[in-house]
Chain A
Amino acid sequence: MTLVQQPELYLECYSVTPDKFAGKSLTEIADLPAHEGKVVWKLGDFFSFSGKAGETAADTKIVVNGNVRKMKRFGQQMTDGEILINSDADMYVGCWMRGGKITVKGNADAFLGIGMEGGEILIEGDADNHVGSAYRGDWRGMSGGLIRVKGKAGNDVGTAMTGGTIIIEGDVFIHVLTHAEGGTVIIKGDVEGRVGGQLVKGDAYILGKLLYPMPGYKKVGTVEKECDGQTYTFDEYIGDLGERKEKKKGQIVWGHIYLKAN
């Protein structure tokens, strides 16, 4: 699909998913709804379409051309298939995604992968705030899948996470795994602070520097662990000591911050 017209505000592209395109003709796809504010347009008002949708989501691949910097919700709730976005994208890329793969050849805005349950997202540029987050106020955040950001992210990575993996190859600002009950966050750059606040369970791996560690974590030793395909030596911290912990077979299950030892 190729952009032919920019919206005045932002366009909600919740219909741009392999699930919604599968089994449809190009005309039917162009008829799918897209909100701009409170007005409902059709995708065909903004994009021209070529090619052929697969019969199922699994064999549908969508390539988005043109500058979609002002388009939100690509891949909302998709279960399979692929989306390739050849520019920056706006907020909510891969929101509530269950499976399949999204690649953004540019930056993604806030709420990348909010409520993700499965699948894979690759951002070749930077992400913004609230990567792999929970919906506002919800205690059930990202529960599965993989988000990889080659650039940096903003604040709040993996809030209320319960499963899945987030890899930020650049720097992160503050708030990682806040209120998490599971999941893994790997940060290859530096993190300013507030990692693992009120974390029940979950693991953070930081290869760069953690500028302001929090007092709720205690160093228990040094370990060698594999992290995104490479093995490093980490200082192992357990916590959040101020938060409730589950027990498995009588043993406390800790959350961890692994800081790369130098």
Chain B
Amino acid sequence: MSELIIKNGYVFDPISGIKGDKADIAIKDGKIVEKVSSKAKSIDASGKTVMAGGVDIHTHVVGPKVNLGREMRPEDKLFRGDYRGGIVKQGYRMEMGYSIPTTWKTGYAYSRLGYTYVNEAAMPPLMAPHVHEEIRDTPILDISAMPVFGNNWFCFEYLKNKEIENNAAYIAWLLKATYGVGIKVVNPGGTEAWAWGENCNTIHDPVPYFDITPAEIVKGLIETNEYLGLPHSIHLHGNNLGNPGNYTDTLDTLKLAEGYKAKNKFGRTQVLHNTHLQFHSYKGDSWGTFGSAAKEVMDYVNKTENITIDLGCVTLDETTTMTADGPFEHHLMELNHRKWANCDVELETGSGIVPFVYDKDVAVIGIQWAVGLEIGLYAKDLMRTFLTTDHPNGGPFSRYPRIIKWLMSKKARDATLDSMKRKDKVIAATDLASMDRELNLYDIAMMTRAGPAKALGMSSMYGSLAPGADGNVSIYNLDAKKIPSDPELIEEAFSKTAYTIKEGVVVVQNGEIVAEPKGHTIWTKVTMPENLQVMRDIKEKFTKSYTVNLENYAVFDDHVYRPRALEVEVA
């Protein structure tokens, strides 16, 4: 059908092992191929950097919590978009919202950055239909969503009884009922405790009534995940996020993965993905003694090969925090006195939303900024270290190019540090000022494409320029042989691609949207022998505890937008 060849670019593809060589990338019928005919349309990428389309492993872009953020923050849109009368400079729909873009802006903005696939970080199962509607309304991108299980009553009861097979059958059922992709865990036990006004701050604090600990929940879900052989590992937002001194809880959490081996046919090698590690890597016992524990945490991560992490950087912007960590958001509201939304999702999870201004002149925030970058710079294996901001919690995803700049340029880091009012305190509490390491383009390709794709079990489709992968390619205006000495040019180059190609179609050219093809919903379809016990338990819970009927719970098949299943068979 249609053929495209991208010629003469400097290619960075860690999956294929190409480290900046000049190579041609051929695409036919939406997939990367070895070669194409002479009739292929040609793009000249001479002097430019070519990577696979970006893969964002953790971002909050679609769903009820995201939309509540949009609704409660009109000021997030003030003077920040082409909002008047539908006159839009790029794309085909109104683009509004700085930290919580509309679904339209999300699709266009990610495409301009060269990202073609994003993984929605948290889907409340009961409200999955809303998530899928927003996926439908997000142009261009392929999107998956992870239902949350860390505060799920079924999981509590199965795991308390150590019934891994039953837990697996329930999760398989729920993945189909929600068209979800994998197992997300947020503040295990804590959000359920929040329904009682309490929390689980360490991995040993038991959940009220269910009397199961976060440690038992996490280990049980790891075992369930590997029993099923899902494409991704469990994806964990651990207990005690955001508090001084929490790095010890983080190490306790990470150690829960010891002894487990990944079992799957998708090439994934980790059993635990710990997300937005920056928020979990703090020393100190008060805001006054707050400091970076990035080194301690990364020392452990570096020697532990069955773990992956993502950064969760702070970008020093005004943004919106939103998470299923209900108690944390209440705590944040008490700290900054801002408006606060709180939601409970029966039997399943909860959420909280609070605006936050990351003022670089506040010492604690300068330290948080440093911690995020230190994690990237201390990392030994960038195939296990991914670039995120926990969008929008640490900052908007539109700042990914800025983070790339900071990781690639000590000069840029120093300039930001120098502009901080409390820079002496920030320097004293962190290591960043003395770190000379500068990441290169191959490192960035690992952190933003190859690594996340592999961790998600999707490297045969995304994050790769090997034949057979989807024809998603980003071409940046960066001469790999002559990286500019002005770091602002690095940020500029990653902010607007020369070309973004999605399944062989040019969607962005010179930073402008030129086409709007439809994306896919990625989900995991598990085929398992029928489990009568679990089916009975489900019917019982819906009769006794849920306020909705079982017949109305599952997402209708035709409600899901262009689904594409990753298939798993369990004996």
Query: Which residues of A does B touch, CB under 8 Å?
Result: 12, 35, 37-40, 135-139, 244
Contact = CB atoms under 8 A, between A and B. Distances in A.
B78 A135 contact: yes
Contact of B85 (A37, A136, A138): A37
Contacts, number: 27
Nearest to A96: B79
Contact of B75 (A12, A35, A40, A136): A136
A38 B339 CA distance: 32
A135 B85 CA distance: 19
B78 A39 contact: no
Interface string B53-85: 000000000000000000011110010000011
A38 B78 contact: no
Interface of B: 72-75, 78, 84-87, 337-339
A236 B481 CA distance: 72
Contacts of A137: 72-75, 339
A40 B78 contact: no
Contacts of A35: 84-85
Nearest to B84: A35
A186 B247 CA distance: 52
A138 B75 contact: yes
A107 B180 CA distance: 57
Given A137-B339, A139-B338, A244-B337, A38 B75 contact: no
A110 to B, nearest CB: 16
Nearest to A138: B75
Contacts of B85: 35, 37-40
A216 B181 CA distance: 52
A113 to B, nearest CB: 16
10 closest pairs, A vs B, by CB? A38-B85, A138-B75, A137-B74, A136-B74, A135-B75, A137-B75, A135-B78, A38-B86, A35-B84, A137-B73
Contacts of A39: 85
Nearest to A136: B74
Which of A35, A39, A139 has most B Cβ within 10 Å?
A: A139
Contacts of A135: 74-75, 78
Given A137-B339, A139-B338, A139-B339, A38 B84 contact: yes
A39 B84 CA distance: 9
A38 B337 CA distance: 37
Nearest to B85: A38
A98 to B, nearest CB: 13
- Does more than half of chain B's interface fall in helix, strand or loop, or is it mixed? loop
Contact of A138 (B78, B86, B87, B337): B78
Contacts of A38: 84-87
A38 B85 CA distance: 4
Nearest to B73: A137
A231 B86 CA distance: 53
Contacts of B73: 137
A130 to B, nearest CB: 14
A73 to B, nearest CB: 11
Contacts of B74: 135-138
Contacts of A138: 74-75, 78
A237 to B, nearest CB: 23
Contacts of B78: 135, 138
A95 to B, nearest CB: 11
B72 A40 contact: no
Nearest to B71: A137
Given A137-B72, A138-B75, A40 B339 contact: no
A139 B339 CA distance: 8
A135 to B, nearest CB: 5
Contacts of B75: 135-138
A137 B76 CA distance: 9
Nearest to A139: B338
Given A137-B339, A139-B338, 7 more contacts: A35-B84, A35-B85, A38-B84, A38-B86, A39-B85, A136-B75, A139-B339
A139 B75 CA distance: 9
A156 to B, nearest CB: 16
Nearest to B78: A135
B95 to A, nearest CB: 15
A17 B72 CA distance: 31
Contacts of B72: 137
Contacts of A136: 74-75
B28 to A, nearest CB: 43
22 contacts: A12-B84, A35-B85, A37-B85, A38-B84, A38-B85, A38-B86, A38-B87, A39-B85, A40-B85, A135-B74, A135-B78, A136-B74, A136-B75, A137-B72, A137-B73, A137-B75, A137-B339, A138-B75, A138-B78, A139-B338, A139-B339, A244-B337
Q: Which of A38, A135, A137, A244 has the most CB of B within 10 A?
A: A137
- Among B72, B73, B84, B338, chain A packs the most CB atoms within 10 A around the CB of B84
A38 B84 CA distance: 7
Nearest to A14: B84
B82 to A, nearest CB: 12
A136 B73 CA distance: 8
A119 to B, nearest CB: 18
A244 B339 CA distance: 14
Contacts of B337: 244
A40 B88 CA distance: 13
A35 B338 CA distance: 34
A197 B86 CA distance: 38
A38 B72 CA distance: 25
A156 B55 CA distance: 47
B474 to A, nearest CB: 34
A128 B206 CA distance: 56
Nearest to A12: B84
A10 to B, nearest CB: 13
Nearest to A38: B85
A85 B324 CA distance: 52
Contacts of A139: 338-339
A138 B85 CA distance: 23
Nearest to A39: B85
B87 A40 contact: yes
B69 to A, nearest CB: 11
B503 to A, nearest CB: 34
A39 B87 CA distance: 9
Contacts of B84: 12, 35, 38
A40 to B, nearest CB: 7
A137 B87 CA distance: 25
A40 B85 CA distance: 9
A138 B87 CA distance: 25
Nearest to A77: B79
A86 to B, nearest CB: 27
A58 to B, nearest CB: 23
A240 to B, nearest CB: 14
A229 B85 CA distance: 46
Nearest to B334: A244
B446 to A, nearest CB: 40
A43 to B, nearest CB: 16
